[in-house]
Amino acid sequence: MLSKKRNAILLSILAMLLWGSAIPLIKCTFTELGIGRGDAGLKILVAGIRFLLAGFLTLIYFKVSEKGRPIAFKNVNWKFVVILALIQTSLQYIFYYIGLSHVAGVKSSIIQSTNAFLVVLISLVLIPNEKVNPNILIALVLGTLGIIISNGPAEGTGGIRFVGEGFVLIATTLNALASVMIRKYGKGINSFILTSFQFMIGAVVLILLGLAIAGRPLALTPKACLMILYGSFISATSFSIWTSVLQRYHANEFGVYKLFIPIFGSLLSVLVLGEAFTLNMGVGLALVLLGSFILNKKKISFGK
């Protein structure tokens, strides 16, 4: 399916819809479990449970796609899998789960939209044949302005806090780094295997850390279990799609489709969480989206 770029684009947008729905889902899960802003250990523990289940679900995807064929462990670069697990699952979601509880869902979506810029910047460092062009500079200026405006004091947007907006930005940077690493080092590894094992390895770190620092036990409810299971489905499905796409296409070419995460995330945060969408946020999101389209305007192709 992914040999045709049109299919890769459509599947990428589906993955972004799933990722966008994760923002209100995580906040609703915290509310259902009674997890407050200061319960960092419980947040990390919930993330670990989600990604451990996601790892097993991705293995099921592998078995279905490969029709039961055994895993060729000798073809797996385990050093890369472990490094990716620590960056993309453990570190990213420590910062993201803690940061998200301090930031409105709409605002978090806008911050995450910087991913397209970060992928290009990191690609310039890690992939030697990437070049700087005027589009990159213009896009970076527009994106930076968008983030500043969306986090401005006007319209009650609340300013910037390191543990809130700062943590979400760090998580977004780690995600961008992982995207470029997959493109550079992940070739030849089955995308389901790469996704599954980096989830499970990273999840074990999250669970152990969460248990170590949690101030109280995690009191699961049936509704919360369903939420965590849906979160696992989001992760297994979207990461499997995205990893497959990145193994076939350039990260800075398809990075533009991550723009759909803030669009879906903002809309769902307004609809599900009842959050306000302020003028500052609207202008900021528009600038970030404009910058990202300029960044990729010569790269978008709906051909084969």
Q: What's the CA gap between 2 and 9, in Å, rounded?
A: 9
pLDDT along the chain (304 residues), means of 10: 75 86 89 88 93 93 77 78 94 92 78 76 75 70 72 52 85 90 80 88 95 88 94 89 76 67 79 76 76 63 40
Residue closest to 290 by CA, chosen among 149, 96, 183: 149
Beta-carbon count within 10 A of 124 CB: 16
- Sign for the pseudo-dihedral over CA of 113, 289, 109, 140: positive
Q: Kindly report the backbone phi and psi dihedral angles of residue 227, in degrees, each rounded to the nearest multiple of 5, phi listed first.
A: -65, -45
Q: What's the CA gap between 107 and 277, in Å, rounded?
A: 9
Q: State the maximum Cα–Cα separation within the chain, in Å, rounded to a whole number.
A: 57
Question: What pLDDT, on a 0 to 100 scale, did the predictor assign at position 301?
Answer: 42
Question: What pLDDT, on a 0 to 100 scale, did the predictor assign at position 297?
Answer: 65
